[in-house]
Structure 1
Amino acid sequence: MDYPHILSPVLNFLHCPTPQAWIERARDPANLPLLLTDHLVCELKAAQTAMLLVRKYVADKAGADALLAWLKPYEAFTFREGPEPDFVALHKQLAKSAMPKTDDPWGQQLIDSMVLLIKEELHHFWQVREAMVARNIPYVKITASRYAKGMLSEVRTHEPLTLIDKLICGAYIEARSCERFAALAPHLDADLQKFYLSLLRSEARHYQDYLALAQQVSQEDISARVRFFGEVEAALITSPDETFRFHSGVPV
């Protein structure tokens, strides 16, 4: 895989690299259980975000219900300490599921992009869980970082500006994930390193999909708004942070 080619636009898009202090904390093997657990939850939250966008803005009831059903077993395991699902069976089921449809070209593009993203994030969720099981890391509930909440707190409150801002936030979250996977990979064991590097291509595509959808919704150029959220995101990444998580700032 051509990592520099994939990473170059991501690094140009983000306003700062991951601080070295975060990498130093993350490379400590004692923090691996926490990082993998948070990574697991982040994959599900990314899928939930995509699902909510489709349900709110385009899906019919049948399509919306189908998306909800996809996520239910993952949510039950993650948030309600439900049984460990059969991820292999779930993944096969996802591949064959019927998709929401719409006559609106932008809406169909949103559906196509987000449904692919949901499928990929749920597959990654299963892969992270496999990595945890292989290392005897139990799943234990943890608190969320301030990161996504900090970004979404700046979202404007009337449409279509709300949708545009949410899509831009989605782009930054995916781009930062991509950058962090690459920053962390050299410090992991061979299997995890291979897994993290395998995630780069999809995360890089996700951020570009979000940006393209945001520009298509807007009747004006969104570059000033993209810059604004780039500054918000960089402030969260470079400022002191008492909670150490996958998207946290500089460890206190």
Structure 2
Amino acid sequence: MNVVSLLQPIKKFLHCETPQSWIDEAIKPENLAVLLTDHLICELKAAQSAMFMIRRYAVDADSAKALLEWLSPYEKFTYRREGDWRSLKDHQRLSKSMMVKSGSAYGQDLVDKMVLLIKEELHHFYQVLEIMQNYGIEYENISSSRYAKGLLSHVRTHEPAALIDKLICGALIEARSCERFALLAPHLDDTLSTFYVSLLRSESRHFEDYLSLAKNIAKEDISERIAYFAQIESSLILTADSDFKFHSGTPSTAENQHRAVV
């Protein structure tokens, strides 16, 4: 895998690079548990977001029900601590083919791309759980970071503008994830480094899928809207953030505050 060429469009798309201070914080051994736990939850939330889009915009009632059933074991484990994590391996496949609902304006492309994304995100979820178990890190639910909420709070409320904005946000989240996997990999042990590098190809494709869907659905130039959200995303990454997470901003630790004053 040529990581440099793979990251070129992502770096062009994002309006800023992750600050070195975030990398310094992320590679501290005492932050490994929260880094992996938040990564785990981010994988599920990515799958949930894709599922929501398919159910709301594209598929019939039976398909919508099948999507809910697909994610249900993961949600029960994550939010209610129900079930054995090992059993999740048996739920990584969708039980039925998706049927596009009559009159849907968004069609098969949205369904195909988002179903593949969900499948991959759930597989990554299981992989992170395996790694956590191997490292002796017990899963504990943690609060969400400000990142996704900060982006989605700017989504328009009318259609198809709302869907286009959500897809742009999805592209930014996937692009930032990909950038951070690449930045972290050289600083981690062989197991985590190999795993994070292995995620780069799928995450970069997710970014491209979200972006192509947004452009196709809009049927017009959305470069200004992309730039608008990219600027918001950049602000969330570069401003001080006291809550360290996988997508958090610049760490506002006492040490970093001291550096800023000096």
Q: 2: CA distance between counterparts of 1:149 and 1:84?
A: 30
Aligned ranges 1:1-252 → 2 under 5 Å: 1-85=1-85, 86-91=87-92, 94=93, 97-102=95-100, 106-252=106-252
Q: 2: CA distance between counterparts of 1:63 and 1:187?
A: 43
Q: Displacement, 1:219?
A: 3.1
Contact between 1:243 and 1:251, CA under 8 Å: does it hold in 2? yes
Contact between 2:145 and 2:248, CA under 8 Å: does it hold in 1? yes
Q: 2: CA distance between counterparts of 1:56 and 1:105?
A: 12
Contact between 1:25 and 1:31, CA under 8 Å: does it hold in 2? yes
Contact between 2:57 and 2:106, CA under 8 Å: does it hold in 1? no
Q: 2: CA distance between counterparts of 1:11 and 1:21?
A: 18
Q: 2: CA distance between counterparts of 1:189 and 1:241?
A: 26
Q: Displacement, 1:89?
A: 1.7
In structure 1, give the amino acid aligned to 2:242.
Answer: E
In structure 2, give the amino acid aligned to 1:237.
Answer: I
Q: Across the two proteins, how many residue pairs are aligned to each other?
A: 249
Q: 2: CA distance between counterparts of 1:119 and 1:209?
A: 14
In structure 2, give the amino acid aligned to 1:152.
Answer: L
Q: Displacement, 1:105?
A: 8.0
Contact between 1:164 and 1:218, CA under 8 Å: does it hold in 2? yes
Contact between 1:79 and 1:141, CA under 8 Å: does it hold in 2? yes
In structure 2, give the amino acid aligned to 1:15.
Answer: H
In structure 2, give the amino acid aligned to 1:217.
Answer: I
Q: 1: CA distance between counterparts of 2:179 and 2:60?
A: 35
Partner deviation per Cα, 1:7-30 (whole Å, 9 max, x = no partner): 111111100111000000001011
Q: Structure 2 length normalisation: TM-score?
A: 0.93
Q: 2: CA distance between counterparts of 1:107 and 1:162?
A: 17
In structure 2, give the amino acid aligned to 1:34.
Answer: V
Q: Structure 1 length normalisation: TM-score?
A: 0.96
In structure 2, give the amino acid aligned to 1:87.
Answer: L
Q: Give the SS at the match of 2:82.
A: coil
Contact between 2:59 and 2:99, CA under 8 Å: does it hold in 1? yes
In structure 2, give the amino acid aligned to 1:99.
Answer: S
What's 2:258 paired with? none
Q: 1: CA distance between counterparts of 2:107 and 2:36?
A: 34
| Alignment root-mean-square deviation, CA | 1.2
Q: Displacement, 1:101?
A: 2.0
Q: 1: CA distance between counterparts of 2:37 and 2:198?
A: 19
Contact between 1:106 and 1:216, CA under 8 Å: does it hold in 2? no
Q: Give the SS at the match of 1:74.
A: helix
Unmatched runs of 5 consecutive residues or more in structure 2: 253-262
Q: 2: CA distance between counterparts of 1:215 and 1:88?
A: 34
Q: 1: CA distance between counterparts of 2:182 and 2:130?
A: 20
Q: Give the SS at the match of 1:137.
A: coil
